[in-house]
Structure 1
């Protein structure tokens, strides 16, 4: 079973507010004791909190319900009830919360960032607030207000500087393994990668950037075929995209256009990002074949050639990525 979970749906409920007190003061030496009922405490909020130590929604996978505490009732002597304890849902950086209608409630972009998903109900006012010149001893107080409840969908979108985009078996995992300490599963068959892998790539002068190996696209992914939206949501959060087309592809430019089309179908804004086109497995090519492949592409889309196996072209590829990120 995969330890990477990027989608969960949980029924959440904030706390009810405590009721106000309708107490009337009764003391031996104060014959005309008036109202002294205190306010109820507010119900607990439901709060989403960023946690940089988390990288998956797995801890929430089997959570069906989350409920915050209700506020305590008010009491005599104008004592306010205690607020209900807030409940915190720790999520990885890059998590988006949506309501049942699919509207975004908030997104976590920083460690310890907090977003209130559901407000606790307000506490009711005690009868002390309702005293007036015409009603010196009000015998009523407000009930606490209900909390909010409903389903919340949590979606994780991987945050990385570079997202690798390509068909299954394009060499994405081999590239990530060759430029970082990540150890993705590598094999000679499609869909080796079923969950995103992150690797920190060392660059010159102790600099670095984060690369994400995202599960492979197949034609029709934007309509949900293959892994469909499961991987496309992660591409949204990458600063730049690195297209990988394997050297042994039957039509390199056509493969690039299919990849480009899948991203456009899913979210046209993805192609507003900077991107680099590359040909992987370049150790299979001689100079003549490289020229031939390069000639398929327009001038502004000329591909870079590299081999994750032999290391050919990796320095130039990292230079191009850094220039796009910081140029």
Structure 2
């Protein structure tokens, strides 16, 4: 995904169609000069609908849609003929898309399944024709119901990536290098902070044609939950990952301290993230010998499975995949 092509946030005006007016009509035939009311109902206004599409990975195709307007319903006709419904507008979105009210920030719903359809903005109801209002005391009602107005509202769509494993670490921890080493993904890699400016997804092949999806999330810095650096824009992508793989380089001043800071940022953003299964990989460990790794093991955070790896030297990458697969199966 190129930087310019990955769009995970769009805002647009969603306007559903107005309902058609009910018909004010009386039956008129050659031998029935004073027939009763037979005005038909108006058609429903068009809905704005979101539909999950597993082939979409970004909201790029909606970036320039500032106004989405559905068709109005047609008016009813004589002979109790109902007007045609307004045409719905269906917007395909990636799985993991969250719809919010732009004014209140209130979350409406999430799209998580391929083919799932949810009405975003409901079309107005069609008005009732005059035949509905006939009664014993009013045999010839001279009124019909107007159609209901459509709804106009500003909507925000946010994408939360759906992946099995989310990579969590400071900038330059080696997340992109790991992803490129164990999957077909080709993220931009460089020896400087914030090389990764957009999330990257990679499908990691495992034994017997099995696979899992790994997401390389842009690096977290202290204060990310308050919006520093790349901020919470990318923290939301971690919410959808079932497993969090913490990646800390072997040359870090204190692995335990870095882990504590990363955990703190996730907790400030969303405490529920701490309920997810966690794994720890010490990257760039090709520089370590067995004796040094044994010493460092005593300083690692307690209660989290850990492993020393090197993406460049392909060290322990198969063992890491075994750890991840086991964690996925344990759910």
Shorter-chain TM-score tier: over 0.9
Partner of 2:164, secondary structure, is: strand
Q: Which residue of 1 aligns with 2:180?
A: 177
Q: Which residue of 2 aligns with 1:212?
A: 215
Q: Which residue of 2 aligns with 1:161?
A: 164
Say which of 45, 48, 65 aligns to 2:47.
Answer: 45
The whole-number CA distance in structure 1 between the counterparts of 2:137 and 2:302 is 86
Contact 1:41 1:72 in 2 (8 A): yes
Q: Which residue of 1 aligns with 2:253?
A: 250
Contact 1:294 1:302 in 2 (8 A): no
Task: Show CA shifts across 1:250-309 (max 9, x none).
Answer: 111101100000000000000100010110011121223212322112442352100000
| Equivalent pairs, count | 327
The whole-number CA distance in structure 2 between the counterparts of 1:302 and 1:77 is 74
- TM-score (norm: length of structure 1): 0.98
Contact 1:200 1:210 in 2 (8 A): yes
Task: Show CA shifts across 1:41-67 (max 9, x none).
Answer: 010111000111110000111111111
The whole-number CA distance in structure 2 between the counterparts of 1:28 and 1:177 is 81
- 1:119 Cα shift? 1.2
- TM-score (norm: length of structure 2): 0.97
Distance 1:239 1:288, change over 3 A: same
Unaligned ranges ≥5, structure 1 = none
The whole-number CA distance in structure 2 between the counterparts of 1:298 and 1:92 is 36
Q: Which residue of 2 aligns with 1:294?
A: 297
RMSD of aligned Cα (Å): 1.1
Task: Show CA shifts across 1:204-251 (max 9, x none).
Answer: 111111111110001100000011111100000001000000111111
Q: Which residue of 2 aligns with 1:32?
A: 34
Unaligned ranges ≥5, structure 2 = none
| 1:251-270 mapped onto 2 (5 Å cutoff) | 251-270=254-273
Say which of 68, 72, 80 aligns to 1:70.
Answer: 72
Task: Establish whether residue 320 from structure 1 lines up as the match of residue 327 from structure 2.
Answer: no
The whole-number CA distance in structure 2 between the counterparts of 1:232 and 1:163 is 10
| 1:93-242 mapped onto 2 (5 Å cutoff) | 93-100=95-102, 101-242=104-245
